[in-house]
Homo-oligomer: A and B are copies of this chain.
Amino acid sequence: MASTFLHCKTTASISSITRLNLHGSSSLNIPMKVNMPQNQSFWATVNADIEAHLERAIPIHPQLSVAEPMHQVIFSTPKSMASALCIAACEVVGGERDKAIAAASAVHMMHVAEFTLDDNQLSAQQKRKSMVQDIGIARFGVLPLGYELLATSDNPMGNNSEKILRAIIEITQAMGPQGMVDGQYWKMQCKGSYGDELCHIGWIDHVCEKMDGGLCSCGAACGAILGGGSEDEIKKLRRFGMYIGMIHGMMKRGIDLGRVENEVLEMVEGLKTLALKELEYFKNKDVDALKSLVDARVSQF
């Protein structure tokens, strides 16, 4: 089954690129302790701005009872790195933060929709909040709300619609059946532990590419598009997001499965090299905050 699964991959997948670029690094036994990233204050500010935007955009209307469980779902889901990457990518290409704040919020909604789909995660995080009965509806509502936030963020002259539409396409493709939906499908197939026939290195690789990598890639690309980046900048930041998402996804999922084998660590090292390579293009810009994300020890953002 695992080999069938590996054969299912597209020929030019990230995984194949990764393997071609693997370095036999001697520093594979990195400590598993979870540290805070450097540039923490930058990321803290970015996340606070996204949260403030979401609070303004999604008030609790007393008239609409469904708004309350939705609000709870949106604000109780842990942040992903992808939303913050969206803002950072926008700023790196010279855009102002407010250009990307709606997209960053939409990316958070996509993460919320995926997060709440997994009842195991829900039981640990959100079931405590007595919102079980409305969770299905709230989960159903966050996706259109995310698209709405982004689609209605055009300026009053309506002359930014092309960029916004492009960002919507990035998000739909990252979310859809060739993106996170596929990752979610495969994630659900593995209910066992790492080492089982299906929960193989190929499984971690594929799920992380489609889920963690896909979301961060899409976040970074959206930020670069809306910030007015060139095609080259968009492409490089999209790839940077993919590598960063995969690095943290592989570490997290590896840890969750109880083992981080050398094979996982080798792949992570390769991804780090690739991520740093993408940043070389921006050598005249301040990319310290982005660079700090390459630290694989940060398993939670």
Contact = CB atoms under 8 A, between A and B. Distances in A.
Contacts of A9: 63
In the complex, which range does the number of interface residues on chain A fall in?
35 or more
Contacts of A113: 140
B65 A8 contact: yes
Contacts of A117: 136-137, 140
A287 interface: no
A176 B64 contact: no
A70 interface: yes
Nearest to A146: B172
Interface stretch (A23-31, A157-165, A268-276): A157-165
Interface in A51-67: 63-67
A67 B181 CA distance: 9
Interface string A175-194: 11111011011001000000
Interface stretch (A36-44, A95-103, A124-132, A148-156): A148-156
A197 to B, nearest CB: 16
Given A113-B140, A182-B64, A176 B162 contact: no
A172 B149 CA distance: 9
